[in-house]
Amino acid sequence: MLKKLNLIWLPLALSIFGVYAIQRGFATFAKASDFAIPHMTDALSIYFTVMSLSVLLGGYFLDNFNSRKILMFASALGVVGIALVPQSALAFGLLFGVSAALIKIGPYSSPMKLFDRNEAMRIAPQSAAKNIGGAAFILFLGAGLKTLGWDLTSIILAIFFALVGIVTYLMVPDDKIEGWKWDIFLKLKNDIKFWFLALYFFLMCGIYYVAIYQFYPALTKVAGLQKTTALTTLAISFICAGALRFFVAWLGEQELKGIKFRLPLMWIGTAGMGSCLLITPINPLLSLIIFTFMSAIHTPNYWAYCKEQWGPRYIATVVSLGFFFMYLGAGLMYGAW
């Protein structure tokens, strides 16, 4: 049992890898006209909006049922959504939006319930998988779209998603904690810390996606890089950010006069990504370096912060409510820009 518990990061990280290979890869190229991705901007706007609504229910289900069952169901929805992306922006946005909402919570909330120490480090592999997934799309799948075509690419992604769902179901232990009560919503409504968290989520994710789609055009037009060099540069940035997840998870645990660095780091990271919106049109390479570090700060630290404030029993519920604001920010800011 202990060996199995120590290995649960692997299927959980693979789930995150799959979602972010699609989400961040599509977001990176959606407005790059030379890749001619059909209806992807519309699909992503639907996806982010549906996901922001779906997480409201996702947290409830993941706190009241075993995560492995919910993640298996989410993988099945994801398979269908990915397979339909060449035909319909609406089908992809609806189905993959619900799937991703569950997968963005379960692989993190489960270790938060199963472990009582070093929680930020326990989810650092899943956090790193976000960035590695984006890099994999840029290096392999994104470039392969021109030769493989959308139909074959979507089939490959769907098969991967199906296999990950099966492995996750087999490897992740039961993690349900009894005692969940509806009055958590009333407590959060009256908790000023939660509303500051909601504001953080809204700004952090919205700024991330507004900033990230500017890099590829700026690297080719402003910095003068060749297209393949620009793609490789972005991939290296994603991989470096993934590696930094372990460092920032450790850094968030450090204290000064009894105050952990975690919460200040989260806001510094958000402001730092915002500064890239101004720097990218002038010096995209410098902006990308700043963005690489600032974007790495968030995931391991906000999950650990939420557990510290509201406990493991309600961890998925609290973060899912925060995610509502996070993906609402992405949908509104990314869609508008």
Write out pLDDT tens, residues 181-197. 999 999 999 999 999 99
Question: pLDDT tens digit string along 44-99?
Answer: 788 878 887 888 889 999 999 998 899 999 999 989 988 887 788 888 889 999 99
Amino acid at 296: A
Q: Is 251 a domain residue?
A: yes
State the total domains in the chain. 1
Residue with tokens 């690297």: 219
Amino acid (1-letter code) at residue 47: Y
DSSP alpha helix (H) spans, the chain? 2-6, 9-29, 40-64, 67-83, 89-91, 97-103, 106-114, 119-122, 124-136, 142-171, 184-189, 192-221, 227-253, 262-279, 284-296, 298-310, 315-336
Residue 285 lies in a domain: yes
For position 332, what pLDDT does the model report? 73
**Predicted confidence (pLDDT) per residue in 286-335, tens digit:** 999 999 999 999 999 999 999 999 999 999 999 999 988 887 776 677 65
pLDDT in tens, 226-243: 988 888 898 889 889 999
Residues 210-220 have pLDDT tens digits of: 888 889 889 99
The answer to whether residue 178 is domain-embedded is: no
Q: Domain of residue 312: give its range.
A: 2-172+184-336
Do the domain assignments include residue 274?
A: yes
pLDDT at 285: 95
Does residue 177 lie in a domain region?
Answer: no
Please give the Cα distance from 141 to 144 (Å, whole number).
Answer: 5
In order of 44, 102, 105, 152, 203, the CA distances from 331 in angstroms are: 8, 17, 18, 28, 12
pTM: 0.85
Is residue 179 domain-resident?
A: no
CATH of the domain at 198: 1.20.1250.20
The answer to whether position 210 is within a domain reads: yes
